Amino acid sequence: MRFWPATASAIAARPLPAAPRDLAHQIEEGYLVALSALRLSVKNGVILRILRDGAAWDEAEAAALARHAIETLSAELRETAARLSDDSVRAAPTPRESRSARSKRDLARVRRKREEAARLAARSRTLRGVVEKLDAARDDEAVVRDLALRARDDTIGEVMQARLIPRAEPVLLTEEEQREAIAGVKADLQKLIDERTGY
């Protein structure tokens, strides 16, 4: 039984949390999430071109949209990975903090800082792996074509869904009926206010 806190050397001897053993699995999941975001981005780009420019479907332009979306997302993730790496270095305890930690509170603070630094470093590694897969996807014609064709199919599906929604005939009111309806709404609102405030 120890009656004094562990020394800093005992804390330093503890191994840091290991990098996740399933880093490849985390990278694969991140890549799947990135692909989902890319599909949405390309679909929105296709819809925007059709509605804004009145352009017809063009697979080459959709593929160019897909490549641009991949490059944009890859650049964002690369920047985030670099920031997380820097944050990891800043979050780690300094050697002085590790050496001078004597109380339970100080030792716990050093441990938390090490765990946070390891967590940030693991996220950075995962994002770097996703960026590598995205860069490979950008150069893979099959992936780019699949993104473009999926955007086309999703766009057609949304347009068809919107056209199948039943639309009711508009209700036409005379000016007198509109005034009566508005007066009725105002009366209902006043009744609710009176009930709420008690006046």
pTM of the entire predicted model: 0.65
Decide which of 168 and 173 is more confident. Answer: 173
Question: CB-side exposure of 56: number of CA atoms within 13 Å?
Answer: 0
For 46-99, what is each residue's pLDDT tens digit?
Answer: 888 888 888 888 889 999 999 999 999 999 999 999 999 998 888 888 888 878
pLDDT band at 110 (very low <50, low <70, confident <90, very high): confident
Closest CA to 84 of 118, 129, 133, 132: 118
Using DSSP's 3-state secondary structure scheme, residue 165 falls into coil
- Chain centroid to CA 97: 35
Q: How far is the C-alpha of 81 from the C-alpha of 130, rounded, in Å? A: 10
